[in-house]
Amino acid sequence: MSDLICELVKETDPFLKEMPVGFDFENPQVDPDKLSEQLIANMIHYKGYGLSANQMGIPVTVFAMIHGEHIFTVFNPNILEWSPETTYMREGCLSFPNLWIAIERAKGIATKFQLANGEEQSGNFIDLSARIFQHEHEHMEGALFIDNVSGFKLRSAQRKRRKLRRKKKNEEYDGIY
């Protein structure tokens, strides 16, 4: 399975801001089953709740996500409706390691998408699953979770990340001279 694992696109790479193209089941850009397998393998490897194809350098509208006990891939996602009720919680992104920012999102969403076999699905997601779907859907629009965050909030989160990195680096030091 290690041959499926790849390095993720870095947060500074402008590729993350490019809008991926729709997945074409009539003339697939890549094998949908292999892409699905690779997305899931990388999401698990990097300990994420979701991972979009463009985070692996593949510019198509596909992402993997955890939904309760299930893991699946979403092709050509659409959010049809957002609940008026919102939730506010810390969120991260695998392309931005250890950067955590409180983000407000709709508590529930109604969606339409396709599975790896091209089958159309409709689904409602709430709470964490809705948050994951919305976060990954942003990647499908060439947007990032930091885009609508104030400069103050972003700088504060980046300072916390630097402190965390220094702490982890110091913990790795074993005290031998």
Q: How far is CA 166 from CA 76, 104, 137, 161, 170, in A?
A: 40, 29, 32, 9, 6
Element housing 139 (H / E)? helix 127-140
- The CA-atom distances, in angstroms, between 74 and each of 11, 30, 147 are 22, 15, 23
Q: Which of 69, 119, 120, 136 is catalytic?
A: 136
Catalytic site residue 104?
Answer: no
HEC string of 21-90? ECCCCCCCCCCHHHHHHHHHHHHHHCCCCEEEHHHHCCCECEEEEEECCEEEEEEEEEEEEECCCEEEEE
Residues known to be catalytic: 136
